Structure formats: structure tokens, C-alpha cells
């Protein structure tokens, strides 16, 4: 027996729970009967404006003629305000007087609230359009700020720097080979660890350079290593970098996003 079946057995097998279920069912039935009776009383003094037929409620703020099937909002059609004796207009969340704009409760709502589904559908559509426009603007900014690919006209030549070869030979000759024990306490720079943290941080979108978590207790050294890692990743076309004041916006390379 799994957890769901066990909970259902505890619910149906417990006399107290069975009693509560019956009480809740009776309350729901009484509430629905009271709602139907309330609507019947409120509509009994009104008739269909088109044919004079009887009216029945079909849902919140909607009624229908039993003869010609015309549908209408009974609050807007029949109710008048006490302030100006004017008809009501339906707003997004309430009804209001058409002349002075005062908020007026509807007599044709039992325990429901005014709800305009078309309004909320429109707001959601506009929100999605704004988010899509922001994403497109960021993509355009990153594309415009990307530097051109560097083409090497010739292979780098170490001898092009005067004296560099002699200095390297001198350094190697004087240093000798150090034992591995000499590097036991060496604080190794693991570029791959920084690269993995940066890629994980970009899973949810672009991120500022200063927002990445530190991997070293020395904040200055950590920033240097993080920046070096980003340079390698930018050269490998894994990320794109954009300067924003004293900070840098780090984003996945757009070719990776499209892939």
C-alpha cells in the first residue's frame, strides 16, 4: 500500500473524518441552495428587456432569458445607484456609478467577486511582449558589442622579443628542477573549477561579473582568477563580455543559445 492509498484509507476509515466529510457536503449543498434562492428572488422582479420573459442566472454577473435566450449582466441592466439614480458601469474589479464614478456593490452577486477575464488575458499578453522585447534588446546589445575575430597573419615568434630567449635560458639554468615536495603548499589556480562555476551561474541567464560566488578567501586574487578564466572562455566563444561602468555583464555566447 503506497502513501496515497494509505492516506485515503485513513480518511475513509476514520469515523471522525467521515463525519466531517458529511458536514462539509451538507454545508456546500446548503450554500448552493441559498445561492439559487437568492438569485431567484433578485430576478423575480425583473423581466427580459427584449421579450419580457423570465430570467435565470447562468454564472457570476450573467443571466439568461428562458424564452429568447438573450444573455446580459443584470447589474448593468437593472441596478441603479442611490447617489445619482444612474445605471452602473462594470470596471475591472467592481461596479461604479456612470455619473459620479462612486463604487457600488452589486445586488446580483452572492459571494462572488467581479472578474474580467479579458482584462487579465490582455495584461498577460502585454507582459509576455515586454519580456520578449527585453530579451531581444539584450541580444542586440551583446551582438553589437562583440569584437571581431582576430586573424593571425603569422605564427608568434618568441625571438621577436629582444633578449627573451636569453633570459629564459638563464632562468632555467639557475633554477634547476624542484622536488614535488616544494609545491606541497602551493595554491594552485584551477581554471576548470572557475569555468564550471561561471557556466552554472549562467543557466538562468546573463549575470554581472561581481555576482559570481567566490572560490578563494582572498577576494582580490579570486577576481583576478575569475577574470582570467572569462578571457579564456571569451576566446573560446563560450561567453560574451560587455562593460557596464565598473562591472562586466557575462552572457553565454549567442551561438551557444541558438544551438
Instruction: Find out whether 116 and 92 touch, Cβ atoms under 8 Å.
Output: yes
Tell me whether residue 149 is in a domain: no
Last residue of a domain, one of 98, 115, 132: 115
**Residue 12 lies inside a defined structural domain of this protein:** no
Chain segment 221-234, per-residue pLDDT in tens: 999 999 999 999 98
DSSP string, the chain: --HHHHHHHHHHH-HHHHHHHHHHHHHHHHHHHHHHHHHHHHHTT---TTT---EEEEETTEEEETTT--EE-HHHHH-B-TTT--BEEE-SSSEEETTT--EE--TT-SS-----HHHHHHHHHHHHHHHHHHHHHHHHHHHHHPPPPP--SS---GGGSTTHHHHHHHHHHHH-PPPGGGGTT-----HHHHHHHHHHHTTTS-EEGGGSPPSSSSHHHHHHHHHHHHHHHHHTTSEEEEEETTEEEEEE-HHHHH-
Q: Please, which residues have CB within 8 angstroms of residue 40's CB and are 6 or more apart in sequence?
A: 56
Residue 182: its pLDDT value, please? 54
pLDDT of residue 117: 65
Q: How many independent structural domains does the chain possess?
A: 2
40 found inside a domain: yes
pLDDT value of residue 56: 92
Backbone angles phi, psi at 84, to 5 degrees: -125, 0
Listed residues 63, 87, 115: the one ending a domain: 115
pLDDT for 108: 85
Whether residue 162 lies inside any domain: the answer is: no
pLDDT at 20: 83
Structure confidence at residue 258 (pLDDT): 42
176 falls within a domain: no
Rg (CA), the chain: 37
Q: Which segments of the chain have a pLDDT < 50?
A: 1, 3, 6, 256-259
7 within some domain: no
Predicted confidence at residue 54, as pLDDT, reads 92
Decide which of 84, 115, 146 is a domain's last residue: 115
Place of cell 456612470: 98
Residue 70 included in any domain = yes
Indicate the pTM of the whole model.
Answer: 0.37
Range of the domain at 68: 34-115
- Residue 97 and residue 100: Cα distance in Å, rounded? 6
* pLDDT at res. 12: 58
Q: In CATH, what number is assigned to the domain containing residue 257?
A: 1.10.10.10
pLDDT at residue 150 in the model: 66
Rounded distance between C-alpha atoms, residue 210 and residue 201, angstroms: 12
pLDDT tens, residue by residue, 39-53: 899 999 899 999 999
Amino acid at each position: 500500500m503506497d502513501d496515497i492509498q494509505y492516506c485515503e484509507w485513513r480518511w475513509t476509515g476514520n469515523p471522525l473524518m467521515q463525519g466531517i466529510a458529511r458536514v462539509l457536503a451538507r454545508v456546500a449543498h446548503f450554500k448552493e441552495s441559498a445561492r439559487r434562492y437568492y438569485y431567484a428572488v433578485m430576478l423575480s422582479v425583473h423581466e427580459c428587456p427584449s421579450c419580457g420573459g423570465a430570467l435565470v442566472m447562468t454564472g457570476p454577473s450573467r443571466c439568461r432569458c428562458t424564452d429568447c435566450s438573450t444573455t446580459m449582466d443584470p447589474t448593468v441592466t437593472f441596478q441603479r445607484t442611490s447617489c445619482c439614480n444612474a445605471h452602473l458601469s462594470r470596471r475591472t474589479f467592481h461596479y461604479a456609478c456612470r455619473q459620479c464614478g462612486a463604487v457600488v456593490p452589486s445586488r446580483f452577486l452572492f459571494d462572488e467577486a467581479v472578474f474580467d477575464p479579458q482584462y487579465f488575458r490582455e495584461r498577460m499578453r502585454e507582459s509576455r511582449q515586454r519580456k520578449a522585447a527585453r530579451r531581444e534588446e539584450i541580444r542586440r546589445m551583446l551582438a553589437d558589442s562583440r569584437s571581431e575575430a582576430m586573424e593571425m597573419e603569422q605564427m608568434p615568434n618568441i625571438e621577436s622579443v629582444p633578449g627573451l630567449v636569453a633570459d629564459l635560458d638563464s632562468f632555467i639554468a639557475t633554477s634547476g628542477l624542484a622536488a614535488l615536495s616544494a609545491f606541497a603548499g602551493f595554491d594552485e589556480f584551477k581554471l576548470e573549477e572557475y569555468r564550471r562555476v561561471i557556466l552554472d551561474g549562467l543557466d538562468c541567464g546573463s549575470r554581472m561579473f561581481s555576482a559570481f560566488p567566490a572560490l578563494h578567501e582572498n577576494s582580490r586574487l579570486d577576481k583576478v582568477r575569475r577574470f582570467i578564466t572569462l578571457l579564456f572562455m571569451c576566446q573560446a566563444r563560450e561567453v560574451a563580455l560587455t562593460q557596464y561602468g565598473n562591472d562586466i555583464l557575462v552572457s553565454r555566447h549567442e551561438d551557444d543559445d541558438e544551438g
